[in-house]
C-alpha cells in the first residue's frame, strides 16, 4: 500500500513542501487549505509537472479534512507568517487558534499519523499540538534544528569555500533567538570547525544563524522563508516514511534529558516510522549546556503564556 503524507496549509511553505515530497517519491501527497480552490489549483499544477520532473504519486488539493484520512505523516504549516519586526512569540495567540483547529481534525481523521509541526512559534505550537491531539509525544516532532543547522552549514561552507554537504552542524534549543548553535559536533568532513575558523568569525556565524529567519523576513518584507524550511520538512518526512533512522536536530518533548523536562526543545533525535525513536544526549561544554537550559526556560515561559490565554 502506498504511503500518504498530508500537508496542512497551502501557502509558500506548505505548497513547496508538497512539491519536494512528491519529488522524493515517498507516496501520495494531500495539500489541504481552507481557501477554496487554492490547494486544488496548486495540487493540479504540481500534478501536471510530474511528466517533466519524473515523479508519479498522486497529488491532491482539498478543503476537506476528511481527505487526510489514513495519513502516515501530517505536516502542519498552517498559520500566519512573521512580518518585519514581529517575533515568533508575537504570533503565539493568533497561530495557537489556527493550529488548535488543525490538530482537532488531525486527531479525528489521522489518529495514527506522525505529526511534523512547522507553524511558529514552533516549540509552543508543538506543545499545543500535543495537548490538542493527546498523541504520544514521540509522534509530535518540530521542524527547527534541521533548518537552523542547514543555515549554519551554508554560512560555514561560504566562509571556508567548501561544499555545504561536507559540513556537519548541530543547532539545539528553541527555534528563535535563544537557539544554541554548537561548536561541539560541528565539523567539515570530520575536521572540528574550531580548527578551521577563528573564534570571532565562528561567533559571527552563530549569530547570523540565530537571526537567519529574521534576515530573510527583512529582505522579503512581505513574507518569510519557505524553500529551506520545506526542504527541511521533506528530509524529516523521508526518514519517517522510509523508516530511515536519520539522526537530525528536531524539537522533541524532553523528560529529563539535558536537565530539561516538560518542554519541546531542539535536540538530536533518531527519526523512524514511529516518529522520535530516541533522544541523544550530547556531551556539551558547561556554557553550551547552560545556554540550552536558558533556551528551554524561554520556551517554558511561552508555554505558560499560552496556558494563561486558554484560561482567559
pLDDT in tens, 282-298: 999 999 999 999 999 99
**Rounded average pLDDT over 73-88:** 79
What is the pLDDT, as a whole number, of residue 90?
Answer: 67
Q: What is the pLDDT of residue 133?
A: 98
* Whole-Å CA distances, 150 to 5, 93, 143, 166, 233: 23, 28, 12, 12, 12
The pLDDT of residue 91:
73
Q: pLDDT tens, 83-126?
A: 666 665 667 888 999 999 999 999 999 999 999 999 988 999 99
Q: What are phi and psi of 128, to 5 degrees?
A: -65, -40
63: pLDDT strictly greater than 80? yes
Q: Considering the domain 4-142 in this protein, what is its CATH number?
A: 3.40.50.720
The predicted-structure confidence for 131-161, as pLDDT tens digits, reads as follows 999 999 999 999 989 999 999 999 999 999 9
Point out the catalytic residue in the list 56, 128, 163, 175.
175
Beta strands in 203-274 (DSSP E): 246-255, 261-272
DSSP characters over 12-34: HHHHHHHHHHHHTT-SEEEEE-S
The pLDDT value recorded for residue 93 is 84
- In which band, very low, low, confident or very high, does the pLDDT at 7 lie, cut at 50, 70 and 90? very high
- pLDDT at position 82, please? 63
CATH 3.30.565.10 fits 145-311, yes or no: no
The pLDDT score that the predictor gives to residue 84 is 63
pLDDT of residue 80 exceeding 90: no
In this structure, what C-alpha cell is assigned to residue 113? 499519523
Residue 71's DSSP bridge partners are none
Whether residue 175 lies in the annotated active site: yes
Reduced to 3 states (helix: H, G, I; strand: E, B; else coil), residue 185 is coil
Domain boundaries in the chain? 4-142, 145-311
Report whether pLDDT(272) > 90. Answer: yes
Amino acid at each position: 500500500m502506498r504511503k500518504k503524507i498530508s500537508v496542512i496549509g497551502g501557502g509558500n511553505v506548505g505548497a513547496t513542501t508538497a512539491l519536494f515530497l512528491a519529488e522524493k517519491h515517498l507516496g501520495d501527497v494531500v495539500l489541504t487549505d481552507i481557501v477554496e480552490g487554492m490547494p486544488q489549483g496548486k495540487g493540479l499544477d504540481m500534478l501536471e509537472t510530474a511528466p517533466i520532473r519524473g515523479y508519479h504519486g498522486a497529488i491532491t488539493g482539498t478543503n476537506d479534512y476528511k481527505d487526510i484520512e489514513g495519513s502516515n505523516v501530517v505536516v502542519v504549516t498552517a498559520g500566519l507568517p512573521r512580518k518585519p519586526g514581529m517575533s515568533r512569540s508575537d504570533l503565539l495567540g493568533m497561530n495557537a487558534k489556527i493550529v488548535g483547529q488543525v490538530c482537532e481534525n488531525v486527531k479525528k481523521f489521522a489518529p495514527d499519523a506522525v505529526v511534523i509541526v512547522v507553524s511558529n512559534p514552533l516549540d509552543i505550537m508543538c506543545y499545543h499540538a500535543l495537548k490538542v491531539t493527546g498523541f504520544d509525544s514521540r509522534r509530535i516532532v518540530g521542524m527547527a534544528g534541521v533548518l537552523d543547522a542547514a543555515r549554519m552549514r551554508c554560512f560555514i561552507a561560504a566562509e571556508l569555500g567548501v561544499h555545504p554537504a561536507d559540513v556537519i552542524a548541530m543547532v539545539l534549543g528553541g527555534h528563535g533567538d535563544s537557539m544554541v548553535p554548537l561548536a561541539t559536533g560541528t565539523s567539515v568532513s570530520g575536521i572540528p570547525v574550531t580548527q578551521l575558523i577563528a573564534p570571532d568569525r565562528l561567533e559571527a556565524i552563530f549569530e547570523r544563524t540565530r537571526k537567519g529567519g529574521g534576515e530573510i523576513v527583512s529582505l522579503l518584507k512581505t513574507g518569510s522563508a519557505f524553500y529551506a524550511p520545506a526542504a527541511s520538512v521533506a528530509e524529516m518526512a523521508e526518514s519517517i516514511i522510509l523508516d530511515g533512522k536519520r539522526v537530525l536536530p528536531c524539537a522533541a518533548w524532553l523528560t529529563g534529558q539535558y536537565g530539561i523536562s516538560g518542554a519541546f526543545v531542539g535536540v538530536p533525535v533518531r527519526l523512524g516510522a514511529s516518529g522520535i525513536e530516541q533522544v541523544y544526549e550530547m556531551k556539551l561544554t558547561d556554557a553550551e549546556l547552560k545556554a540550552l537550559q536558558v533556551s528551554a526556560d524561554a520556551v517554558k515561559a511561552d508555554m505558560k503564556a499560552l496556558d494563561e490565554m486558554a484560561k482567559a
